[in-house]
Amino acid sequence: MDGGPQKPAVGWENGMLAPVDRLRTERADSPVPGLVEGTEPGAGQQSAMFVHAQSFEDLTAEAEEDVEREAELDESGEPSEDLKVLVGEETIEKQHNDDIPPERGTKEEDVSSEAWRSHRKHVFVLSEAGKPIYTRYGTEEALSSTMGVMMALVSFVEAEKNIIRSIHADGCKVVFLAKSPLVLVGVSRTCQSDKELLRELQYIYYQIVSLLTLTQLNHIFQHKQNYDLRRLLAGSEYLTDNLLHRLDRDPGLLLSAVTCLPLASSARDVVSASLQAAKAKNLVFSILLAGDRLVTLVRKKDQFLHHIDLHLVFNLVGSSSSSREGEGWTPICLPKFNTAGFFHAHISYLEPASELCLILVSTDREDFFNMSDCKQRFLERLSKRSAYQAMKEALKCPSYSVEQVGIPELRHFLYKSKSSGLYTSPEFPAIYQSDEEQERMMGLYQDLHSHLHHPTRPLRSFYRCSETENLLAWVTSGFELYLCFSPLGTKALAHSAVNKLLKWIRKEEDRLFILSPLTY
């Protein structure tokens, strides 16, 4: 009803608005798709939590700076001869994308086997000297000649003062990303666009930088061009594997957004305030996670966390399930913040059996005991309050079912508030419970997403019917919305559902989003 609008009114008069200076209407109860950025359901009331919250374009923009120098080699170009080495000849046999691929390749896989070739998506990382650094499937050693060919392709085109961007052949896309001193190559059979693939390669690049810093990376290769980087990355392969898995599965990485644990705003505010109170001189970010969901994030004034950096932190925490009793202390570079140096992250679970993980990011590597102390202060403060119990209760149902929205034909949706960089989405309904179905669903969303974010012909809305479901995607200056309906729905129904859904999200926004992020 009118839950949202009252509290912020004070803030608005004080001029504590989010960056947009455009005219703001009241936070309407019945938001319409024409809403201005900053007033859509889920928009933060005081200030944004992330930098460039709507930064899908930021992420890919870098790669597009040299568009004019683009050299796209198509099937007729000569390098496709070399390509056969990479992807194999598959003109005769019919390749079905829905062939179930082996989930996670064992490292011992034979790289000359058909099974290896038919993986849906390969990712390779190599140094500019052509030395293998990472492969998603198989071992790096076995691929040194293949990677040599990749580097040859890159240098061949570079010699002509050009840049190789992608090769399309045989239903296969080969995408190149040169990020000196590394070269990343993606080979995909999915229907993702080049831009989407490039975005994924960027993530992998940032993952590597987050472990080493770009400064160290440059330093190493300046001293020794043919350095074997695997020595330094030893043991981190599973982080990259997991990140690739997330890229296939996690809508947050697709939307460049983060989802929150549904929690009553009163409880969330208490948790945030307790975190805010447990500050220290060098503490920059305090992040409380419940699994893959954000409970709250408190940051130093004027310091913003980029969602890519946050996803890297999620990946780091999610990948190390080992000891939940101890306290972790690890250097981490947040590449979107600064590629030159390390932050130091104190990682601990609030209770051994709990999903609640607290990450305290400090600038000082000697700060372990200070951070440990911050955590204690936070816990002491929080445990006295009922909000702690409320939060633990909320953990029992970290998601919600789409039925609660009350739109009969609606099966699933993704809603992203652009100004806050947060998204919400119900759990997958029973028909999409299997891994294959979820991946297929994500594939459909990826496809919609790439239509809305097409580099030259972006669409504002897109409706698509298929035998299994009907889909609608809609982007405005304030939000991005992706809906999945049963195949029996109609287009008119889909459009009327948008308004109904927005209304519902507005009603629930206190619970689904972080409306009042805090700073120290």
Partner 1 sequence: MSAMRVDAKVVMLGKESVGKTSLVERYVHHRFLVGPYQNTIGAAFVAKPIQVGEKVITLGIWDTAGSERYEAMSRIYYRGARAAIVCYDLTDSSSFQRARFWVKELQNCEEHCKIYLCGTKNDLVEADRSVRQIDYHDAQDFAEEIGAQHFETSSKTGINVDELFQKIAEDYNSTAFQYMTAEETGVDLGLKKDSYFYSCCHNN
Which residues contact partner 1 by CB under 8 A? Answer: 211-212, 231-236, 238, 316, 319-323, 325-332, 345, 347, 365-366, 368-370, 372-373, 376, 379-380
Supply the minimum distance, in Å, between the C-beta of residue 442 and partner 1: 25
Residue closer to partner 1, measured from CB, 60 or 372? 372
**Shortest Cβ 345–partner 1 spacing (Å):** 8
* In the complex, least distance from residue 376 CB atom to partner 1, rounded to whole angstroms: 5
Antiparallel, parallel or unpaired: β 70-73 and 163-169? parallel
Q: How far is the CB of 514 from partner 1 (least distance, A)?
A: 27
Distance from C-alpha of 293 to C-alpha of 427, rounded to nearest angstrom: 13
Q: How far is the CB of 365 from partner 1 (least distance, A)?
A: 6
Give φ, ψ of 80 to 5 degrees.
-65, -15
Name which of 182 and 212 has its Cβ closer to partner 1. 212
Residues in the chain: 520
C-alpha 360: how far from its chain's center? 20
**Separation of alpha carbons 488 and 490, rounded Å:** 7
Nearer to partner 1 (CB atom), residue 52 or residue 230: 230
Task: Give the span between the Cα atoms of 156 and 161, in whole angstroms.
Answer: 9
Residue 284's contacts (CB-CB under 8 Å, 6 or more residues apart) are: 299, 300, 303, 343, 361, 362, 363
Nearer to partner 1, 63 or 287 (CB): 287
Phi, psi of 458 (to 5 degrees): -70, 140
Q: Which is nearer to partner 1, 170 or 237 (CB)?
A: 237
Is the Cβ of residue 319 or residue 476 nearer to partner 1 in the bound state?
A: 319
End-to-end CA distance of the chain: 32
Whichever of 239 and 422 has its CB closer to partner 1, that residue is 239
Provide the Cα torsion 288, 290, 295, 301; round to 10°: 30
Q: How far is the CB of 280 from partner 1 (least distance, A)?
A: 8
Amino acid, single-letter form, for residue 515? L
Label each residue of 186-231 as H, E or C: EEECCCCCHHHHHHHHHHHHHHHHHHHCHHHHHHHHHHCCCCCCHH
Q: In the bound complex, what is the minimum distance in angstroms from residue 134's beta carbon to partner 1?
A: 14
Minimum CB separation from partner 1 for residue 375, in Å? 10
Token representation of residue 346: 């104190």
Nearer to partner 1, 93 or 380 (CB): 380
Specify the residue, 380 or 393, whose C-beta has the smaller distance to partner 1. Answer: 380
Q: What is the DSSP string of 277-326?
A: HS--TTEEEEEEEETTEEEEEEE-TT--B-HHHHHHHHHHHHH--S-SSS
- What does the alpha-carbon distance between residue 180 and residue 70 come to, in Å, rounded to a whole number? 17
Name the residue nearer to partner 1 (CB basis): 269 or 355.
Answer: 355
Residue 174 to residue 123: CA distance in whole angstroms: 10
Query: How near is the Cβ of 258 to partner 1 at its closest, in Å?
Result: 21
* Dist. CA 325–CA 351, nearest whole Å: 8
CB of 245 to partner 1, least distance (A): 14
